[in-house]
Chains A and B, each alone.
Chain A
């Protein structure tokens, strides 16, 4: 099975037990899919089925169902944007929409092209009924059937979703009316961006390694555990704490809320405080929390936390515990379905060689996204909150509560979350690809945009080739972003540090777009390359 949106229906059909027996459940779950599912969305699998039926909340790690659903949403976004579907509807019904707003504010191009899933989430929260089968029919028709393969695949496995007495024209009219009804609510609300930023820097603040005798191994394991759980926990607590707002999008450690509160500053302050308590209730400490909206920003940081040794011990025990061990194992098992073809081993004869099988011979590999923050939240839209200080790199002497929170206008926030919802499934599916095709003997860390894992060193070449093909395919189908050097990749043999910023900076400088144009996605760093002298002489 390939890792692409087209695989979603058959994957769900094979994995999601019980959906065939309960049409209401099926409709509910497809609504969740079309609303760009968050970290808490799971499908009932085998022994987990009973738990799911009893609504026992749990989060699966890197669930393929969630990743494929997000890829499908990204593909729908692209097709709707290409055909200017929402923009055309808004323009056609401009007077009706303006009238309901009661003012003459301009509607920006970004607002006219928001993801359909935001409209569906606002409708859902407001109790406005919609049917996923009808929305899919609308998407298919309004995009000139460019998603026909995907829709046909859904029809093949879930025909009951499309059972209706309405014809296509009726459906189209009703979904358009849904959009026209809901869109003014989006325009009226304030877009509030909540995040738990600066993972590494905050961790360093929490864990003062010099102050206590803690083994490096324990710190390493604790940080891995925190990196793997922080985004899911953050989204869960944020969603719980903002029951009165519409959660427009969650993913990658960022949440976009739509609130109608008139005093946004007060609302954001209370929300961050509630979230802080949410974290505190669960683990006796909280990460740095930020809120920003077009007119302001808030930050929440409480330096009073348990000693570093306690935090590390708790996270380490969690990492070693049965539940988390199973969770990591399940992630690997769930992706095994996607080991497609045989290309993962260039040299078949060495695939099962003693060296390849012997985990002691395996090497550590590191992958992360090049400049993800700048990609989603470019500096030109970030307000320099404190004087001329750089928002991305706060001065080291500043405590976290004084780190400047970037403030963005409404369009900048919309653009950022649109970028994020495309790149997030690209990142997640690439991690899935690594798990499926290279079957790492150990995944040390997997969170946000970074993965560290172990595999036979002979897999290095095929790893890069697999990622190249995967990204090329996704940039042909779900992303309209220009191709770029997207991934750093490092074979960590002989490297003990996990801080690669200096190496990256040197390579970045040497490979700046003014110097070289490369049409690949993976940029490996060979640590020995970067020592060479910067002499500008010509060859010879």
Chain B
């Protein structure tokens, strides 16, 4: 997590080359935070998540209080009970976990330009609410939350196998690739994950893919395929994103 701390320390949203704006860095930050979530204190976990959703800057990264924690916890609980909460723009506009949950739900756009929002969990607001409750309760508290990055993230930076068989392409998800220009230490054990994807269109120019389920739950899909995992995720359940900009930047 050293590199993430480095980015946080060098946050400068005015800079064109701000490393915190690189989507690969955001994904790496989120992945690693989720992988170690049980070891992190609320303030630390919170800052990593806010960073991944572009909701942190030099001014607010140190802001944390029991009141904020209580608000975030309460909001997540209300959502899981189906009630929502009386929220106004003043809450959704703040750089807090309520806004992160609103982004996953789909009501709050992730990018300032006209890009399409593509939240990292693909809109799985339930898991985000559970995650918020989990980190707000703190690591000492008993929690049933047991989801890791493989069970949550649905947007991946990939490298493609150059050879495809019968319209099935191999996409390699590798954190080491994401961190190529960063420290190579502490790489996750998920290196070189391969996802097989079925398509009649050539996806090889795309850098990012969006999946209908996180990689840890792709078995729900592949169990239905004649050739299992190697049969490929059907075309209707994944998307190769346009090969430029943010993972959602195909409009505008």
A binds B: yes
Interface residues, chain A, CB within 8 Å of chain B?
145-146, 148, 346-347, 363, 365, 457-458, 460-461, 464-465, 469, 472-473, 475-477, 479-483, 490-491, 493, 507, 510-511, 513-520, 523-524, 526-529, 531-533, 535, 537-540
Query: Nearest B residue to A347 by beta-carbon distance?
Result: B144
Given known pairs A465-B126, A527-B84, the reply for A516 and B236 (CB within 8 Å) is no
Q: Does B136 contact A (CB under 8 A)?
A: no
Question: B193-233: contact bitstring with A at CB < 8 Å (1 yes, 0 no)?
Answer: 00000000000000000111100000011111110000000
Among A146, A472, A533, contact of B89 (Cβ-Cβ < 8 Å) = A533
| Contact B212–A519 (Cβ < 8 Å) | yes
Contacts of A539 in B (CB 8 A): 55, 92-95, 99, 108
Q: List 14 A-B contacts (CB under 8 A).
A: A460-B82, A472-B213, A472-B220, A472-B221, A475-B212, A475-B236, A476-B224, A476-B225, A516-B109, A516-B116, A519-B122, A519-B123, A519-B212, A538-B112
State in angstroms the CA–CA spacing of A524 and B122 once bound together. Answer: 15
| Known A518-B106, A529-B107; 6 more pairs at CB < 8 Å | A472-B220, A493-B82, A507-B107, A517-B248, A526-B83, A539-B99
Given known pairs A461-B80, A465-B126, A480-B236, the reply for A519 and B211 (CB within 8 Å) is yes
| Contact A491–B124 (Cβ < 8 Å) | no
Contacts of B55 in A (CB 8 A): 539
Given known pairs A476-B224, A493-B83, A526-B79, the reply for A533 and B88 (CB within 8 Å) is yes
Which residues of chain B (86-124) have a CB below 8 Å from chain A? 86-89, 92-95, 99, 102, 105-109, 112, 116-119, 122-124
Query: Nearest A residue to B116 by beta-carbon distance?
Result: A517
Query: Nearest B residue to A533 by beta-carbon distance?
Result: B89
Contacts of A480 in B (CB 8 A): 234-236
A300 nearest CB across to chain B (Å):
38
| Contact B117–A520 (Cβ < 8 Å) | no
Q: Does B81 contact A (CB under 8 A)?
A: yes
State in angstroms the CA–CA spacing of A490 and B223 once bound together. Answer: 31
Given known pairs A510-B107, A539-B55, A540-B93, the reply for A528 and B237 (CB within 8 Å) is no
| Contact A519–B236 (Cβ < 8 Å) | no
Contacts of A516 in B (CB 8 A): 106, 109, 116-119, 123
State in angstroms the CA–CA spacing of A507 and B106 once bound together. Answer: 9
State in angstroms the CA–CA spacing of A203 and B73 once bound together. Answer: 44
Contacts of B221 in A (CB 8 A): 472-473, 476
Query: Nearest B residue to A472 by beta-carbon distance?
Result: B220
Contacts of A461 in B (CB 8 A): 80, 126
State in angstroms the CA–CA spacing of A477 and B220 once bound together. Answer: 10
Query: Nearest A residue to B86 by beta-carbon distance?
Result: A528
Contacts of B107 in A (CB 8 A): 507, 510-511, 529, 532
Closest 9 A/B residue pairs (Cβ) = A526-B84, A491-B82, A518-B123, A519-B122, A460-B82, A476-B224, A477-B224, A516-B117, A528-B84
| Contact B106–A510 (Cβ < 8 Å) | yes
Query: Nearest B residue to A460 by beta-carbon distance?
Result: B82
Query: Nearest B residue to A470 by beta-carbon distance?
Result: B220
B29 nearest CB across to chain A (Å):
18
Contacts of B89 in A (CB 8 A): 532-533, 535
Given known pairs A518-B123, A519-B154, the reply for A483 and B237 (CB within 8 Å) is yes
Contacts of A465 in B (CB 8 A): 126
State in angstroms the CA–CA spacing of A469 and B85 once bound together. Answer: 26
B235 nearest CB across to chain A (Å):
7
Given known pairs A461-B80, A476-B220, A510-B106, the reply for A537 and B93 (CB within 8 Å) is yes
State in angstroms the CA–CA spacing of A480 and B87 once bound together. Answer: 38
| Contact A540–B95 (Cβ < 8 Å) | yes
Query: Nearest B residue to A481 by beta-carbon distance?
Result: B236
State in angstroms the CA–CA spacing of A152 and B248 once bound together. Answer: 44
Query: Nearest A residue to B82 by beta-carbon distance?
Result: A491
| Contact B210–A460 (Cβ < 8 Å) | no
A342 nearest CB across to chain B (Å):
14
| Contact A518–B87 (Cβ < 8 Å) | no
Which residues of chain B (110-147) have a CB below 8 Å from chain A? 112, 116-119, 122-126, 144
| Contact B212–A472 (Cβ < 8 Å) | yes
B217 nearest CB across to chain A (Å):
8
State in angstroms the CA–CA spacing of A180 and B226 once bound together. Answer: 29
Contacts of B108 in A (CB 8 A): 539
Among A148, A363, A529, contact of B84 (Cβ-Cβ < 8 Å) = A529
State in angstroms the CA–CA spacing of A524 and B129 once bound together. Answer: 14
Contacts of B81 in A (CB 8 A): 457-458, 460, 491
B79, B82, B89, B112 — which one has the most chain A CB atoms within 10 A of its CB? Answer: B82
Q: Does B163 contact A (CB under 8 A)?
A: no
Contacts of B102 in A (CB 8 A): 529
State in angstroms the CA–CA spacing of A469 and B212 once bound together. Answer: 11
State in angstroms the CA–CA spacing of A234 and B40 once bound together. Answer: 60
State in angstroms the CA–CA spacing of A513 and B84 once bound together. Answer: 23
Q: Does B251 contact A (CB under 8 A)?
A: yes
B116 nearest CB across to chain A (Å):
5
A15 nearest CB across to chain B (Å):
24
Contacts of A365 in B (CB 8 A): 82
Among A346, A518, A531, A535, contact of B122 (Cβ-Cβ < 8 Å) = A518
Query: Nearest A residue to B93 by beta-carbon distance?
Result: A539
| Contact B80–A460 (Cβ < 8 Å) | yes
State in angstroms the CA–CA spacing of A464 and B105 once bound together. Answer: 13
A482, A490, A507, A520 — which one has the most chain B CB atoms within 10 A of its CB? Answer: A520
B249 nearest CB across to chain A (Å):
11
Contacts of B211 in A (CB 8 A): 519
Contacts of B99 in A (CB 8 A): 539
A345 nearest CB across to chain B (Å):
12
B23 nearest CB across to chain A (Å):
15
B251 nearest CB across to chain A (Å):
6
| Contact A519–B210 (Cβ < 8 Å) | yes
State in angstroms the CA–CA spacing of A540 and B223 once bound together. Answer: 44
State in angstroms the CA–CA spacing of A148 and B225 once bound together. Answer: 11
A148, A475, A493, A510 — which one has the most chain B CB atoms within 10 A of its CB? Answer: A475
State in angstroms the CA–CA spacing of A458 and B77 once bound together. Answer: 11
| Contact B248–A532 (Cβ < 8 Å) | no
Given known pairs A528-B84, A539-B94, the reply for A520 and B124 (CB within 8 Å) is yes
| Contact A475–B116 (Cβ < 8 Å) | no
Contacts of A458 in B (CB 8 A): 81
State in angstroms the CA–CA spacing of A464 and B123 once bound together. Answer: 13
State in angstroms the CA–CA spacing of A480 and B237 once bound together. Answer: 9
Given known pairs A146-B226, A510-B107, A511-B107, the reply for A520 and B122 (CB within 8 Å) is yes
